[in-house]
Amino acid sequence: MASEELQKDLEEVKVLLEKATRKRIRDALTAEKSKIETEIKNKMQQKSQKKAELPDNEKPAAVVAPITTGYTVKISNYGWDQSDKFEKIYITLTGVHQVPTENVQVHFTERSFDLLVKSLNGKSYSMIVNNLLKPISVEGSSKKVKTDTVLILCRKKVENTRWDYLTQVEKECKEKEKPSYDTETDPSEGLMNVLKKIYEDVDDDMKQTTNKAWVESREKQAKGDAEF
């Protein structure tokens, strides 16, 4: 996988990690984050080794990079909304409306977009969102710069469809947190499956408390049936 794609994946994982609240999900995302960071580091080392092995007459001539100020800040906080035609992503950046129009750049693909804001208060700001929940129209998508806000408009490829999540990854994380019910079995069995899942996730003390409550409940139920 190219370093650029790995970097995009890393940014996506960081965004999800900030939003995740469940320990199991956070642990999985943290492990994936470490894995991607290791891959990026290995690729950079491989590139450095290849450059070092080149003979002097094959090494590329030095290129003078343009002078830039500040550094790049990764954007992780944003809000989003939707209409029948658009997914709307709101990014708050103080003073963004004062920078030249060409300093605010957005690149769209059918399932992603990336934003770059250059030279804002001595810094650059970037945001990369991959694996959008559904395809968008690249030609129909655009951006608007308002007071202290960048509005990204992703044109839905299929209009009048509702997106419950912005990205596929966010959907998968949320669905893993939902208890699974089997509608074709007895309702009580579905409840037992949920209780079993909760039981597996708690500590030993809580298991003992749960067991005691369960036994007492069964005893009361048996006593009630006998009296009836």
* CB of 125 closer than 8 Å to CB of 72: yes
* CB of 178 closer than 8 Å to CB of 165: no
Beta bridge partners of 114: 107, 128
Higher-scoring residue by pLDDT: 195, 102: 102
pTM metric for this prediction: 0.50
Q: What is the percentage of the chain residues whose pLDDT exceeds 90?
A: 42
pLDDT in tens, 176-224: 876 655 545 555 455 456 556 665 665 666 666 666 666 666 666 566 5
Give the torsion sign (CA, 153, 158, 159, 160): negative
Higher-scoring residue by pLDDT: 17, 165: 165
> Which domains does the chain show, CATH number per domain?
1-45 (4.10.860.10), 72-171 (2.60.40.790)
CA distances (Å), origin 125, targets 8, 94, 122, 201, 204: 14, 11, 10, 40, 47
pLDDT in tens, 83-99: 999 999 999 999 999 99
Q: Which of 8-12, 25-29, 172-176, 190-194 has the highest mean pLDDT?
A: 172-176
pLDDT > 50? residue 67: no
Report pLDDT for 22.
80
Higher-scoring residue by pLDDT: 75, 186: 75
